[in-house]
Amino acid sequence: MIKNKNILITGGNSGIGFFAIINLLKKKNNIYLVIKNDFRKNDFLKRIEKYFDGNYLKKYLNIIENCDLSDLDNIKEIKDYFINKKIFLDVIVLNAGLQYTGSFYPKVSKQGIELTFAVNHLAHFYLVNILKDFVRDNEESRIIITSSDVHDPKSSGGNIGKKAGLNNLVDFRKKVTGQFLNFNADEAYKNSKLCNILFAKELAKKLKMSSSKISVVTWAPGLVIPKDDSGFFRYSKRFNLFGYLIFSKAAKNILGISESIENAGEILSKIILDPNYNDIGFIHLSNKLISFKKHKLFESNVSDEANSAELATKLWILSEQICRSFGFVTFNI
């Protein structure tokens, strides 16, 4: 077993990723954390220093600064970071994600791409493509993507509100760039989680064709509600604070359906390190509610649409085309 694994993580400065990093640092793994700006970096350091002293962090924690994942230009800088430091990775954790359910209008990235799609899918698609040659090809290596069971219209969260559906990508490019046809923020988030799984399955297929031992894991953490203003719900709360407060209190205390952020972080850290996920091709894991306030991680089926090999290939091609249209052309898979 490799000790002191080199682990790149997005979305690690808050939420699930933050608590995963705490567990990974305790085991003396080398963390490479992508952070958007100085404000988030300083806030992260202030919180992480409550768990570890400065010398320990200097040894095991490495921050890739001022890297806004929604801007494809910044993703190229991540590649340059690893080239300059001559570092190879054991694990890539694609954990960053956002939603702004409640907004009537799309937010857009620097390249003019709808922000949910830009961060949750396209940034991670491009990042894996340009970093694949920096991932060691051995049985302990893996690429992990935080998805959600709301990608499935039959799931308990996916059947509420606008449902996920890519319609075989008919006019999908117009939904995420330029015209933003019939924009719905809730649908945009669910579709991005569907894209995560389709991307992961196509990635696993391509890696298998090249006889790679790198595993690809998607996982659904369940309903995780942070205690503060950081993390996943930071945007959605702005649009409906009153509704969010009622929902979060009911989910935690009355219905008992939410998972604690600490537990979800611990689960992610176990997925990163667990030898059961060595050289397995693709697997989808779901942290399912089994009783009041109690969850358990299971290997789980994905939706019918997420199981479409043809759709996965088409999404991969479209994602490449969108990247290339903005001049981002390095694809190594």
**pLDDT tens by residue, 42-77:** 999 999 999 999 999 999 999 999 999 999 999 999
Is residue 1 a part of any domain in this protein?
no
Is residue 330 a part of any domain in this protein?
no
Domain range for residue 230? 6-325
Residue 89 sits at φ, ψ, to 5 deg, of: -105, 150
Neighbours of 79 (CB within 10 A): 17
Please give the mean pLDDT across all residues of the chain: 89
| 111/318 Cα distance (integer angstroms) | 16
Answer whether 188's CB lies under 8 Å from 103's CB.
no
Contacts (Cβ under 8 Å, ≥6 apart) of 30:
4, 5, 6, 7, 60, 62
Write the CATH number for 204. Answer: 3.40.50.720
Is residue 331 a part of any domain in this protein?
no
pLDDT in tens, 149-208: 999 889 877 888 899 999 999 999 999 998 899 999 999 999 999 999 999 999 999 999
Q: What pLDDT is attached to residue 260?
A: 85
pLDDT in tens, 99-142: 888 888 999 999 999 999 999 999 999 999 999 999 999 999 99
Q: Exposed e or buried b for every residue in 28-66, given b needs 16+ CB within 10 A?
A: ebbbbbbbbeeeebeebeeebeeebeeeebeebbbbbee
Confidence category of residue 291, pLDDT binned at 50, 70, 90? confident
- Token pair for residue 125? 């698609």
Mean pLDDT of 72-88: 94
Q: What pLDDT is attached to residue 226?
A: 63
- Token pair for residue 115? 């922000």
Is residue 152 a part of any domain in this protein?
yes
Say which residue the tokens 């992260």 belong to. Answer: 44
Is residue 332 a part of any domain in this protein?
no
**Which 3-state string (H, E, C) describes 133-202?**
HHECCCCCCEEEEECCHHHCCCCCCCCCCCCCCCHHHCCHHHHHECCCCCCCHHHHHHHHHHHHHHHHHH
Q: What pLDDT is attached to residue 293?
A: 64
Q: What pLDDT is attached to residue 245?
A: 46
Confidence category of residue 23, pLDDT binned at 50, 70, 90? very high
**The residue count for the chain:** 333
Is residue 294 a part of any domain in this protein?
yes
pLDDT in tens, 312-330: 999 999 999 999 999 987 6
Return the minimum-mean-pLDDT range out of 58-67, 169-178, 249-258, 290-299. Answer: 249-258
pLDDT exceeds cutoff 60 at 233: no
Q: What pLDDT is attached to residue 4?
A: 92
Is residue 163 a part of any domain in this protein?
yes
Answer whether 97's CB lies under 8 Å from 235's CB.
no
Number of domains in the chain: 1
Q: What pLDDT is attached to residue 329?
A: 77
| 79/70 Cα distance (integer angstroms) | 16
Is residue 156 a part of any domain in this protein?
yes
Q: What pLDDT is attached to residue 161?
A: 85
